[in-house]
Each structure stands twice: as structure tokens, then as C-alpha cells.
Structure 1
Amino acid sequence: MSLVRNSLSLLLCLVSLSAPLAAGDGLRSLADAERRIFSAVGRLQIEGDRMCTGTLIAPELVLTAAHCVVDRANRPIAADDILFLAGWRNGGAEALRYGRRIAIPPDYDIGQAGAAGQRNDIALVQLSDPIERHRIVGLRIGADPEKRETVGVVSYAEGRSEYASIEENCPVIDRREARIVLVCDVDRGASGAPVLRFGPDGPEVVSVISAMTWMGDRKLAVAIGLDDQLPALKAQLSGSKRVRPAEAGGIRQLSRDEAVSLGGAKFLRP
């Protein structure tokens, strides 16, 4: 799907993260020392054959994009069809949890085109059981980034679905309410990835990747801010109308055959 919008008086061709594109020079695999810091970032396996990126922000809460967890009719998918693979790397994860419930902004509509449809493109997945291992610490939430601020992104995507990659120097070139445009290399599977501010107290999540944008031959990313929606999503998980409950999937280790299957999956756009 391709959408066209005018932003900063420039023509931006908004395309879905399903478009296969080459990685940029600033994108690299996480170094060994960084893997522990970012073990809260994981791969979301959705209905067995689709992939997004998610971030643990509390022991039982994963932040991602809303379009990752709804079907084409804008209905939340069954939460226990979501598997969060924290710190996934080459067939192994630091922790595995199924979803239990999903929270989505009440006015989110996957069928709404352009900026209007993107501004609420965030979601929370409540896990079947909390992740409380000392190696995995949920990332802190920070204020939405400002224009001209430099941020980073950690994500999984097509061609690098078996390991997390990082791009550290992504300048924010536009911000209109909750919609943030940054110069950063994203691709299919990066939906829901955390946009990060790096400070003396460690990284903090400041927005969520929603889509990819082209401006001429430059690849940009569209992210959605958290300030307006995140508190309401947390409140939803205490019992609101857009939460879809499901039976807890429980905690278990992947079998060898399952790990091979996950590693070889062909991912489709959520």
C-alpha cells in the first residue's frame, strides 16, 4: 500500500513497512555488550507467520504498533496468537511469553489513510506472565522527541529477523502533534520498534515506529509519540472496552523444531 502526503511542504510517499529495502550505512547489529542493555526489545511473532518488533516497558507489558495487533477489519487479534521473544538472536530468546490481552486506542482505524490513521498507531500487549529475570529490564519511557533532536532505533526486520539491529543517529526532521518523522533506516518487521533517547541514565523509549517514508531517494521513518496515548492504554488494561482478553498461553520453551520454524518464516505485513 502506498500513500502520499504533504509534510513540511515536501512530497512524502508513505509506504508500508512491507516494502523490502536495503539497510543504510548507519544500521548495524547489536554488539555483545549492547545485547543485555536492549534485551527488553524483542521480536513479536504474530499468528505464526507475521512479525513486528516490541519493547518490554514493564514486567508484563510490551509496547508495539497498533497495526501489528489488529486484522484488516480493525479487530484486535486473539492475544494468545502473539508470542514475544525478548532479546531474540539466532534461534534463542532471553524469555518467551504469549499475549494475554491487547490495548488499542479506541479511535485507531487501520483503514484510515495517511497521518490521521497513523497518529494513534500504538498498542500494549499484556503478557501471559511477567518477565522478571535479572538479565531483562524493561526500558523506561521518556517524553516525546522534539524536532532536531537525535534519537536511535532498535529493531528486527526483513533480512535481519534473527537479530536486533541499532541505528544510533536518527535526526528528527518534523513533528506534527504525535506524528514524528526521522531520518532512519527501517523495513518490514520494524513496525512497533522503539525510538530511543540516549542519556546518562541509559536509554528511554520516546516513540514507536509506525511506517516508512520516502523523500526523494532518502528513506525516513514515521514514529508515533507516547505522551497522549500511553497512560490511556495502561488504563485500558484495567478493564476497558478495547481490550480483548484471551486465555493465557503460559510459559514454555520452544522445541527445536519450533525454533527452526520461527527462524525460517516468511513474514508478511501485519
Structure 2
Amino acid sequence: MLKQYLFCLMIFGLATQAGAGDTPLLRLDTGDDGRGWEAVGRLEIGQEGFCTGSLIGDDLVLTAAHCLFHKGSGARVAPGDIEFRAGWRNGRAEAYRQVRRAVVHPDYVYGGSVVSDRVRNDIALLQLDRPIRTTAVTPFETVPGRGSGQPVGIVSYAHDRADAPSLQELCSVIGSQKGVLVTSCDVDFGSSGSPIFSFEGDMPRIVSVVSAKARMDGKPVALGTDLVRPLADLRAALAHDDGTFLRAPSGDAADTRDQGRRATGAKFLRP
């Protein structure tokens, strides 16, 4: 049985109350509701189910690395078996694209024992077989992650709301450390890879990607990956390699001495 997640106490030492002042999920069922969010889409992962992804370039989709591995065997999913459905809502999408290439963080290990590393490095970039160039779908920009207490929002799919995305306009960063963000955002199975947004300025910008869901003081939280350095590495890998399933070259490989340890004994659920 999966135990209660203890990141808040064992890693971050947090005392902030999760979820205070958060807004409920709003299902984006209509064209008017979903306007501006069409670059968030459902990723169909072969026979594995689906994750959430977001367009950050006309042919680049950002998601969680663990979405690209078979749950049972841990084998990689072939890029050609992945389809991105931009703005998927009630049986139709603004655009449908197959994936041509994929790159995951070099230090990500599917099923690895070091919990903090699994979340910190749980990021992937997918290159589509053709760019999405339509005025209905505008890629999102990315910015550095947010600090404790800062407001964020999220757009995601999940197993019980698979036919349309849902928007949570206000949740918050409960804490962050060493590339991992703990937020009060509402996620569930299927939300892996969902973009977490900052709403500062004139448009939403992505600050994190959902890696896992957990519980803190009996309340659900979402764990995300800070994008700044890993995303730059993944972009560089796609630019310099013609392979189909890549791992970015590692500048600072994870300390192999940690690979056999289970950091804090904490466990989490992949949404």
C-alpha cells in the first residue's frame, strides 16, 4: 500500500496550509470557455492511456517523462505511438499530430528509488511530425518557477474528466527546493505533464509540469518540476541529435551513490 506522502515534513519542512483560498476546477466544455487554452492537449500514449501536454513551440510539446514509459515493463513508448490532440474537447481537437522524436531528462530513471530525483527530473519534450500553425492554437511561453506562497493555476485532463480540460485559476506554491515545487493544485490520474501557470503579466506562462500527486496533512497536493535548467538541456538535445528517442546529455549526472537510497522513505502517486 502506498503510504502518506511526507515531502512536506521530511524534505521541505513546510508548515503552510495547503489549499487555502484555492478556486475549484472549471470544466472548459465550450469554445468560449476554452479560448486561449487550446495549446493544452491530451497525449494519447499507445495503449497506456493518456497524459496532459502543452505546446511551447509550433512543433514542441512539454510533458512529464514518466508518461513515455510502459507502466508494466518500464520500456520506452515508441514516439510514433504517441498522439497530441491540441485543445481536445468533447470528441474533437483543434489539431492532431503524431510525435516524431522525444527527449527525456538525462537523470530521470523510471522507477528509480530516489524520490526527490524522480520528481525533479520528470520532464520530457516531444517533437511533433508536423508543426501546428493555426491562429486557434498559440504556444505558451515558459518562465522560472514560483516561490512559496505565490499564486499559480493549472489546466489539466484527468481520468474522471477526460473529455475536456479543466482550469483551476487559483492554487498556490506551498514550497520549493532543489527543482521540486509542491503546490495545492487539484490533479488526478491523467494530469501528469499538465502545465502549471503563472498569471503575472498579460498572459499565462508555464512555470512547472505536474509530476505526481501526494497528500500533506491529509490534504492532496501536486508535485511539479522546475523547468529552468532541464528545459534548456532538452531543447539543446533536440537541436543537436537526429535520433527518435533521446536522452539529453547530462552536464551534472546524478550522484550514483544516491541511486540505492530511498530519499526519506517517502512515496507518491503518479497522476
8 Å Cα contact 2:58-2:132 kept in structure 1? yes
Cα distance change on mapping 1:5 and 1:115 into 2, 3 Å:
farther
Take 1:223 and 1:198, find their aligned partners in 2: how far apart are those partners? 17
8 Å Cα contact 2:174-2:182 kept in structure 1? yes
1:27-53: per-residue Cα shift (whole Å, max 9, x none)? 111264341200000000000441000
SS in 1 for 2:161: coil
1:160-212: per-residue Cα shift (whole Å, max 9, x none)? 00000011111111101111001121000000000001123210000000000
Aligned residues: 236
CA apart distance, 1:221 = 0.4
Task: Tell me which amino acid in the other structure corresponds to 2:24.
Answer: G
Alignment of 1:48-197 (within 5 A): 48-72=47-71, 74-113=74-113, 114-197=115-198
What are structure 2's unaligned runs of at least 5 residues?
A: 13-21, 247-269
1:108-166: per-residue Cα shift (whole Å, max 9, x none)? 10111321211100000100000001110101111111111110010000110000001
SS in 2 for 1:173: strand
**Structure 2-normalised TM-score?**
0.80
CA apart distance, 1:11 = 9.4
Cα distance change on mapping 1:44 and 1:6 into 2, 3 Å:
same
Aligned-residue identity in percent: 39
Cα distance change on mapping 1:179 and 1:242 into 2, 3 Å:
farther
CA apart distance, 1:5 = 5.2
8 Å Cα contact 2:215-2:221 kept in structure 1? yes
Take 1:90 and 1:133, find their aligned partners in 2: how far apart are those partners? 20
Task: Tell me which amino acid in the other structure corresponds to 1:29.
Answer: R
Task: Tell me which amino acid in the other structure corresponds to 1:104.
Answer: V
1:81-132: per-residue Cα shift (whole Å, max 9, x none)? 0000000001000000000000111111011132121110000010000000
**Structure 1-normalised TM-score?**
0.81
What are structure 1's unaligned runs of at least 5 residues?
A: 13-23, 246-268
Query: How much is the aligned-residue C-alpha RMSD, in angstroms?
Result: 2.3
Which residue of structure 2 lines up, in the alignment, with residue 39 of structure 1? 38
Which residue of structure 2 lines up, in the alignment, with residue 20 of structure 1? none
CA apart distance, 1:242 = 7.9
1:43-74: per-residue Cα shift (whole Å, max 9, x none)? 00000441000000000000000000123555
Take 2:60 and 2:33, find their aligned partners in 1: how far apart are those partners? 22
8 Å Cα contact 2:4-2:215 kept in structure 1? no
Which residue of structure 2 lines up, in the alignment, with residue 16 of structure 1? none
SS in 1 for 2:117: helix
Which residue of structure 2 lines up, in the alignment, with residue 251 of structure 1? none
SS in 2 for 1:55: strand
8 Å Cα contact 2:183-2:223 kept in structure 1? yes
